[in-house]
Every structure is written in structure tokens, then in C-alpha cells.
Amino acid sequence: MMWTWKLIYEDETFNLYCDIDNVVGSEEIDEGIFGSFDCYRPLPEKIALWVSIGIKSKGILMDYVERRKKSGLSSEGYKEYSHTLGLIELDAANNLYRVIPAVDLDEKDQQLGASSLLEGKKASLLKGFKSDWSKIGSPGTNKAVKLLYNFFYRPSVGDS
């Protein structure tokens, strides 16, 4: 698969890139059916996007590695951590989103392990990212999620 990464958001804590060439409808994923790139189709109301989340804050990265150790997960190679590859699903009809982190990668794009970035009994290490379906317009939703949504869907009146 070829990636075409677009920077959607960046601050001192993390960055979020989206692969703008591999956007699929969530129903297509569920059914295992994918349309040809040669035909134009309107954007479905529910889509899944490949994203790359890079932790820039050394403090957050250290907390992440510590959480992995305490959970019994491997922390080997995490000194070379580069980013987490995953999916974000957007449901425009209901103004919902969810983040599904998949795998952590090092600086050479080698797999470090299954991502646990949003797991833990405490709050998520990255504030405003939820792995359960959540409202995009909620004041607690991370700005990166809102910008990603607005990149693909024009915001409705009253959305922020």
C-alpha cells in the first residue's frame, strides 16, 4: 500500500498525519468490499482513515513506556519510538468518532508492538482521544480530531 500523508495537526505534544489516498467507508471494511480507485464516488457518511500519531513530548513518551511495563507489555525498542499507526473512524451522520490505535513503529518503520496508546485505567495519555464512539463536537474532543473531521466534512452550523 502506498501512503500519502497529510499533516492535520501539530503542537508541542504530538502530531497527527492522515493518509488522504486510502479513505474507505466503514461499511466497506465490515463487508470486505473495496471500490476501484478509477471510479468517482461521493464520500460516505461513515469513513475509516489511516492515521499516524507521533508523540513529541518526551514526558508523555516516558509515561507511555512506563504504562507498557506496568501492564506486562514489551517496552523493548521504545527508545526509538517514532509513531503509532492506526485508524480513526468518522460518522458524519451522527457527528461521532473513534480512534483505533494498531501498532507502534520505530524510526525505521519497524514494528515495536501492538499499540496501547489509549489503554489504561487512568485518562488517555493524549487528551481528547477516545477509543469508544464519542461526540466530535464535545468540548473534551481533541482539536486534531475536529480538524480531521473538518478536512473531510464541512462542519454543520453550530459545530466547532
Q: Per-residue pLDDT tens for 36-87?
A: 444 455 788 899 999 999 999 999 999 999 999 998 999 999 999 999 999 9
Q: Per-residue pLDDT tens for 90-136?
A: 999 999 999 999 999 999 999 999 998 887 656 667 889 999 999 99
Identify the pLDDT of residue 64: 92
Kindly provide the residue ranges of all beta strands, DSSP E only, lying in the chain, ordered along the sequence: 5-10, 14-19, 24-25, 46-55, 81-91, 96-106, 111-114, 134-135
Overall pTM surpassing 0.85 (yes/no): no
